[in-house]
Amino acid sequence: MKLLIKNIKKLVQVEETPRTWVAGADMDKLPVIDDAYLLIDQGKILDFGPMVNCPNVDAGVIDATDRFVFPSFCDSHTHLVYSGSREIEYVDKIRGLSYEEIAKRGGGILNSAKRIAKVTEEQLYEESLPRIQEIIAFGTGAVEIKSGYGMDPENELKMLRVIKRLKETTPLIIKSTFLGAHTIPMEYRGRQEVFVDLVINTMLPQVAAEDLADYVDVFCDKGFFTVEDTDRILCAAMKYGLRAKLHANELDYSGGVQVGVKYNALSVDHLEYVGKKEIEALKNSETMPTVLPGAAFFLNMVCSPVREMINAGLPVALASDFNPGSSPSGNMKFILSLGCINYKMTPSEVINATTINSAYAMGVEDIAGSIARGKIANVFITKKIPTIEYFPYAYTSHLIEKVILNGKVVETSL
């Protein structure tokens, strides 16, 4: 049965010919159709246009008078498979400890690693599923999920198998990233090259043999993995056909951006420390600069120079970084608001950054990220709101009325 959404006040992010990404001054342009219809068939977008051209078809009908229809958000960077929570460190941070100080004391990522080691695959799946349900209600239609709290082959595989199961059992488009090199386990401190060997020689082959990952990631930053470590891991991963999505330049000018571009990374993420050299490296590359406003907000970090990147003609994507340590939220609408408030991005820019550009940053731009014929029908219908700008402006209001994934209305609750 077809589904027809009619009388849409504005159909947002429409594309006659899908683009790979939106860059520079184009990021401030958002194609919309006023008083529109959207026709869905067999889980895909069949057609759309102004109401005057609305076809007379046999279909289930949703009347979207006074409501906007957006393509679902693509959240291209998360760590949402984890066990327990880390509000104790949140209090440590309030009392003045930095993220790096907490990590040095064995907290941070290692704290989550201890929890992962204690739970079964089944328990980890059960803990992660409500987070998927929550982000669906927040309007996300595609999500990338990383491993990285395993620290050893057994637990990294456990995380990746949970991600695989989430792919198979939920209506979201999910991409999986192997982040074996997230932090250096205590027993490898002072000889981290041995841990890198373990990632390359033991973990990677097992991950590849079970076909558990779409991408590979390394936390290439001060106090974590070096450019040389990263180079070795990316070189090894290339042999298994795994493209990189890197954590880079969150804590310093780490060289992460450059090594990412060298390996044609799909994205380099965080980017608080980006200067002229990093911008030059990103120009003419196929690597999407991805900013994570939730982590910078939660950790009170400096903001990535988004405006400089856009002025240099680059595209920018935004993602949530949903994780228990630096960004315990997968609410992409809040990411839009943070992009506007803290990075001075316009509403059009943040919408482009969380749809078309973040779809590219997770390799799903051919099936998601815009309203285009043939793409998967992952969209949401807003509540009655006056303008598109109202959506990021009303920064804590839940403004999504209906979520449609694969062409079907999904029951949600928050």
Contact positions vs Fe ion (CB under 5 A):
321
How far apart are the C-alpha atoms of 282 and 313, rounded to whole Å? 10
R_g (Cα) of the chain, nearest Å: 21
Q: Which of 108/339 has CB closer to ligand NIG?
A: 108
Q: Are 250 and 301 in contact (CB under 8 A)?
A: yes
Q: Is 112 in the site for ligand NIG (CB under 6 A)?
A: yes
SS3 at position 315: strand
Find all residues with CB under 8 Å of 299, minimum gap 6, and list them: 93, 99, 326
Q: Which of 250, 272, 278, 365 binds ligand NIG (CB under 6 A)?
A: 250
Out of Fe ion, ligand NIG, none, what residue 326 binds, judged by CB under 5 to 8 A for its kind, is ligand NIG
Q: With contacts defined by CB under 6 A, name the span among 108-116, 164-172, 232-240, 391-399 that binds ligand NIG.
A: 108-116
Q: Which of 111/287 has CB closer to ligand NIG?
A: 111
To ligand NIG, the closest distance from the beta carbon of 294 in angstroms equals 9
How far apart are the C-alpha atoms of 9 and 34, rounded to whole Å? 6
Q: Which of 323/348 has CB closer to Fe ion?
A: 323
Q: Which of 73, 178, 219, 360 binds ligand NIG (CB under 6 A)?
A: 219
In the numeric block, which tokens belong to residue 405? 């994934």
Number of other CB atoms surrounding residue 223 within 10 Å: 14
Through-space distance between the first and last CA atoms of the chain, rounded to whole angstroms? 28
To ligand NIG, the closest distance from the beta carbon of 208 in angstroms equals 23
Out of ligand NIG, Fe ion, none, what residue 324 binds, judged by CB under 5 to 8 A for its kind, is ligand NIG
Out of ligand NIG, Fe ion, none, what residue 410 binds, judged by CB under 5 to 8 A for its kind, is none
Q: Which of 158, 232, 243, 247 binds ligand NIG (CB under 6 A)?
A: 247
Q: Which of 295/310 has CB closer to ligand NIG?
A: 295
Q: Which of 139, 256, 325, 392 binds ligand NIG (CB under 6 A)?
A: 325
Out of ligand NIG, Fe ion, none, what residue 109 binds, judged by CB under 5 to 8 A for its kind, is ligand NIG
- What are the two backbone dihedrals, phi and then psi, of residue 167, each rounded to the nearest 5 degrees? -60, -40
Q: Which of 20/85 has CB closer to Fe ion?
A: 85
Q: How many residues bind ligand NIG (CB under 6 A)?
A: 13
Q: CA of 16: how far to CAs of 45, 254, 263, in Å?
A: 12, 40, 32
Instruction: Tell how strand 68-71 and strand 379-382 pair up.
Output: antiparallel
Number of other CB atoms surrounding residue 105 within 10 Å: 13
How far apart are the C-alpha atoms of 217 and 109, rounded to whole Å? 15
Q: What would the x/- binding string for ligand NIG be over residues 357 to 376, using CB under 6 A?
A: --------------------
How far apart are the C-alpha atoms of 351 and 71, rounded to whole Å? 10
Q: Which of 75, 144, 217, 321 binds ligand NIG (CB under 6 A)?
A: 321
Q: What angle do CA 39, 45, 46 make, to 5 degrees?
A: 60
To ligand NIG, the closest distance from the beta carbon of 227 in angstroms equals 16
Q: Which of 249, 323, 337, 352 binds ligand NIG (CB under 6 A)?
A: 323
To ligand NIG, the closest distance from the beta carbon of 183 in angstroms equals 8
Instruction: Tell how strand 215-220 and strand 173-181 pair up.
Output: parallel
To ligand NIG, the closest distance from the beta carbon of 108 in angstroms equals 5
Phi-psi region of 54 (alpha: psi -120 to 50; beta: other; left: phi over 0): beta
Out of Fe ion, ligand NIG, none, what residue 230 binds, judged by CB under 5 to 8 A for its kind, is none
Query: Max CA-CA distance within the chain?
Result: 70
Burial of 341 (0-12, 13-18, 19+ CB in 10 A): middle
Q: Is 109 in the site for ligand NIG (CB under 6 A)?
A: yes
Q: Which of 156/321 has CB closer to Fe ion?
A: 321
Q: Which of 68/297 has CB closer to ligand NIG?
A: 297
Burial of 259 (0-12, 13-18, 19+ CB in 10 A): buried
How far apart are the C-alpha atoms of 334 and 397, rounded to whole Å? 9
Q: Which of 119, 203, 242, 295 binds ligand NIG (CB under 6 A)?
A: 295
Q: Which of 71, 324, 369, 407 binds ligand NIG (CB under 6 A)?
A: 324
- Closest residue to ligand NIG: CB criterion: 325
To Fe ion, the closest distance from the beta carbon of 247 in angstroms equals 5
SS3 at position 389: coil
Contacting residues toward ligand NIG, per CB under 6 A: 79, 108-109, 112, 219, 247, 250, 295, 321, 323-326
